[in-house]
Amino acid sequence: MHSTPMQGSATDMEKSKRTIVREILVSQLAYALAVGLIAIGCVWWVSNWVVRDNLEDWAVRWVGEMESLGAGFFVNPADERFLELQTYLSRFDEIEYVRYYGLDGRVIYVESAAGEPRLYPELDAGTFAALEKASAEGAAGGPRYRMDVDRDPLVRISQAVTRESIVSANLFSAETLSELEGATTVVGFVELGLDYSGYDRDLMTGISTGSGFVMLAFLTLMLAGRLAIRQAVQPLADMQQPLESIARGNLDVKIPTSRYREISAIGEALETALDSIRERDRHLLKLANFDPLTGLATRHHFIEQLTARLAGATPGYGALLFVDMDQFKHVNDTYGHQAGDQALVQVGARLRQHVRRDDLLGRFGGDEFVLFIPDISASDADAMADKLLREMGEFPLVYDDVSLSANCSLGIAMVEETSRLNPEELISQADVACRLAKSTGRNRACRYQPDEKHIETIKSDVEWQGKLKRALKEDLFELHYQPIQNLADGVIRHYEVLVRLREGEMVYLPDQFLPAAVRFGLMRDIDHWVLEHAFAELAALRRTTPNVRFAINLGGSAFIDTTLASFVLGRLKAHGVPPDAAIFEITEQVAVGSFSEAVPQIRELRAAGCEFAVDDFGTGYSSLSYLKRLPVQYIKIDGSFVRRLSVSKVDQTIVRAIADIARIMGKETIAEFVGDTATLEVIREIGIDYAQGYLIGEPRRVPQANPEQERVVPIDRARRVR
């Protein structure tokens, strides 16, 4: 496998990054090296300074001794005691030679310890004068000698020989001493040549040896420190791989431990964060895969499980049972949504009683359930269906001491050993059979029979599923916009967003493809597509027309998704659209069927600033009962009451009643299907707030650039808006 240039570049960048371990180790090495060099330099300087200072002291001492021992050269050179000078010189290898001068500068005597001495040039008259002056000043406490180091490793030190030194030597008789009484203070000069090369060699040898030991000690300490630091920070380096695994989404990692408090705290914090993420993922997975009301598998999760079961090498045989409660909306309408929720929970619990370990059970949405039973024959599946129907009828559901009907219709689709049905085809077969059971009297079970009509229905469903998936993938949906006019001032400020599906020159209306989308669980994806593209178009339009608003339809399955509100608010923020620019239209059937899921999310969106409208109002079951509890701002009167409004007194009475109720409840009304000026005049007289229809404007691919300038254009035609 070859890496792409981008991958290679990223890898090179990762390699070029510095690591904490390497940084600490390199810093420690540089520090140890600097300290070692400084230490060696200090040792050399101090040693050299101490040795030189001591050698200077020895030189001063030796020249003083030479002054006393050589005094005889200036008095009586024949005295045999002067031989002591040679003995003295032989005791000190450092003394290369001694040389005595008279006051006239003439060399009186030269003596070497051994061999041919390396001599300095003789002293000159200027040096003699300086030595005489130094001798006189030395009597007052100053130095009496002069030292030169011009010919390293030789050192020359010279000093005047005074009369006091001759007398203090106690070497001469009284006669001799009396002869010296008239002599000058300085009687001559002595010069020593010293060879300190041995000291230099010993010093350098010692420094080199000591430096070697120092460097060895530093290297040893550095290696020990390196090991200690590596051991201390290694847990940090060990965290790199687990963190990379976490970044890739793998949470099944183990964070390395450490005996160091700081690193241990980091590890514990990561473990805590991982536990929180795992718990969140488990919660999200549960929300995505299991219905929060009944605890059964959701449509998506059930299809996933069924797909895996049917994709096995030997799927065997089995049956899929599609269960749909009969007249369930009557329970909601009569006793409220809480009663309906409790009824669904009890139905789910009863279905669980018939589930074996290998069976699959799920809630398909609303009052529909699906049950897949593997390894069961057609006759046994029929018997199982009859048993379910019988138990449901014999043991009604209970809510607050009220008995509720539990009758249901049931469709059966068989999986044969030789068949290779996919889940969508199998579900479609069971759905067709269930609809047949309802159409033939309800509270009964029908097994799918592959006649020509059913085959065409299944084929059509499967074809629509393919079209819808391709449309989502290739962006084949498109949005059309129909204006809604404010009848108070005649200005159009918002549009209803209508989705279409285009295949080449063919354009499909929602009634043609949305039922299949609902059956195959694709409505969530379509809703998200519509919301995303509608918000993007709205953001662009509001740059020139800030007050424009969009009304967007939401299907029943939208509220089953508990993340709908967060998705809507997130996309509004991403596109920079204020929430009050969005109006969401829901049918009262949707509101009733998903009341427990819809109301909390509607309230969350309302709190953010979004508004809601009840669409197709007047065709539901218990409209007024639910209208009191739905947090909506608009009531959209169903077109069946508006289409013949100008000629039907009954429709006028119904619309007027709806308008009066809406005004009392503080809600505004919208009349759709306004197709002629006569109808427009009637709804104005009744007091309807907004009008929508082909008279106001047809759905268009692109909204008017400046919709607030639009006015009603009377046309005499009544056509269906949607």
pLDDT digits (tens, 9 = 90+) for 146-164: 777 655 567 888 888 887 7
Average pLDDT rounded to a whole number, residues 597-605: 83
* pLDDT at 487 (0 to 100): 94
How far apart CA 648 and CA 641 sit, in angstroms, is: 9
Task: Tell me which fold the domain 465-709 belongs to.
Answer: TIM Barrel (3.20.20)
Q: What is the pLDDT of residue 714?
A: 41
Q: Is the pLDDT of residue 693 over 90?
A: yes
* Structure token pair of residue 17: 């990054």
Size of the chain, expressed as the number of residues it contains: 722
Confirm or reject CATH 3.30.450 for domain 44-202, answering yes or no. Answer: yes
- pLDDT value at 272 more than 60: yes
Q: Between residues 555 and 565, which one has the greater pLDDT?
A: 565
Instruction: For residues 547 and 193, give the distance between their C-alpha atoms in angstroms, rounded to a whole number.
Output: 110
Q: 547 — phi, psi (to 5°)?
A: -90, 0
pLDDT at res. 390: 85
Backbone angle region of 693, left / alpha / beta, with phi > 0 → left and psi within -120 to 50 → alpha:
left
pLDDT band for position 709 (50/70/90)?
very low
Mean pLDDT throughout 406-411?
87
Task: Report the distance separating Cα 144 and Cα 353, nearest Å.
Answer: 123
Instruction: Return d(Cα 586, Cα 414) in angstroms, integer.
Output: 36
**pTM of the predicted model, to two decimals?**
0.48
Whether 491 has a pLDDT exceeding 50, the answer reads: yes
E strand segments, 380-491:
397-399, 402-404, 408-415, 445-447, 477-486
pLDDT over 70 at 464, yes or no = yes
pLDDT at 715: 34
Q: How many CB atoms lie within 10 A of CB 409?
A: 24
Q: State the CB neighbour count (10 A cutoff) for residue 493.
A: 17
Q: What is the pLDDT of residues 78-116, one digit of tens each?
A: 555 455 677 777 777 778 888 888 888 888 888 776 666
pLDDT at 318 over 80: yes
Token reading at 540: 């662009």
Q: Which of 265-279, 469-483, 514-528, 548-562 ranks highest by mean pLDDT?
A: 469-483
pLDDT tops 60 at residue 168: no
Provide CB contacts within 8 A for 247, sequence distance 6+: none
Residue 255 CA, chain-centre distance (Å), reads: 17
CA-to-CA separations, 539 to 37, 491, 534, 544, 700, in angstroms, rounded: 69, 20, 9, 10, 18
Distances (CA, A) of 546 to 493, 579, 580, 608, 691: 10, 13, 12, 19, 21
- pLDDT the model gives residue 539: 95
Per-residue model confidence as pLDDT tens digits over 613-651: 988 887 654 456 667 777 889 999 988 899 999 999 999
Query: Is residue 24's pLDDT more than 60?
Result: yes
- For range 223-248, the mean pLDDT: 71
Query: Which range, of 320-329, 594-603, 629-638, averages the lowest pLDDT?
Result: 594-603
The whole-number pLDDT of residue 649 equals 92
Residue 373 tokens, joined: 């039973």
Element (H, E) at 361: strand 360-365
Kindly list the domain boundaries of the chain, sorted by start residue.
44-202, 299-450, 465-709
> What is the average per-residue pLDDT within 412-425?
79
Residue 47: predicted pLDDT: 64
Tokens of 645: 């409004």
**pLDDT recorded at residue 166:** 63
Q: What is the pLDDT of residue 721?
A: 34
For residue 557, what pLDDT band results from cuts at 50, 70 and 90? Answer: low
Residue 59 to residue 119: CA distance in whole angstroms: 16
Output the CA–CA distances (angstroms, integers) from residue 528 to 339, 523, 532, in the order listed.
31, 8, 6
Structure-derived torsion over alpha carbons of residues 531, 533, 539, 541, reported in degrees to the nearest 10: -120
Confidence tier at 556 by pLDDT (50, 70, 90): low
Query: In what order do the strands lie in the sheet containing 145-151?
Result: 107-112, 95-101, 186-195, 154-162, 145-151
Highest mean pLDDT among 18-27, 121-130, 204-213, 239-248: 121-130
Average pLDDT rounded to a whole number, residues 473-485: 93
Pick 337 or 413 by higher pLDDT.
413
Query: Which of the two residues, 313 and 677, has the higher pLDDT score?
Result: 677
At 428 the pLDDT is: 85
Residue 466, pLDDT above cutoff 80: yes
Q: How confident is the model at residue 483 (pLDDT cuts 50, 70, 90)?
A: very high
pLDDT at residue 438 greater than cutoff 90: no
As a CATH number, domain 299-450 is 3.30.70.270
Q: What is the mean pLDDT of the chain?
A: 78
Whether the CB-CB separation of 343 and 399 falls below 8 Å is answered with yes
The answer, yes or no, to whether residue 50 has pLDDT greater than 80, is no
Residue 96: which of 121, 82, 116 has the closest Cα?
Answer: 116
Q: Higher pLDDT residue, 43 or 156?
A: 156
Amino acid identity of residue 296, one-letter, is L
* 344 close to 294: Cβ distance less than 8 angstroms: yes
| Average pLDDT over every residue of 39-64 | 72
The set of residues, in sequence order, having a beta carbon less than 8 Å from that of 486 and lying 6+ positions away, is: 492, 493, 689, 690
In this structure, which long-range contacts are made by residues 86-92, counting pairs with CB atoms below 8 Å and at least 24 apart in sequence? 86/111, 89/113, 90/114, 92/62
Q: DSSP of 418-442, one letter per residue?
A: T----HHHHHHHHHHHHHHHHHTTS
Q: Provide the percentage of residues in the chain whose pLDDT is more than 70.
A: 74
Backbone angles phi, psi at 33, to 5 degrees: -65, -45
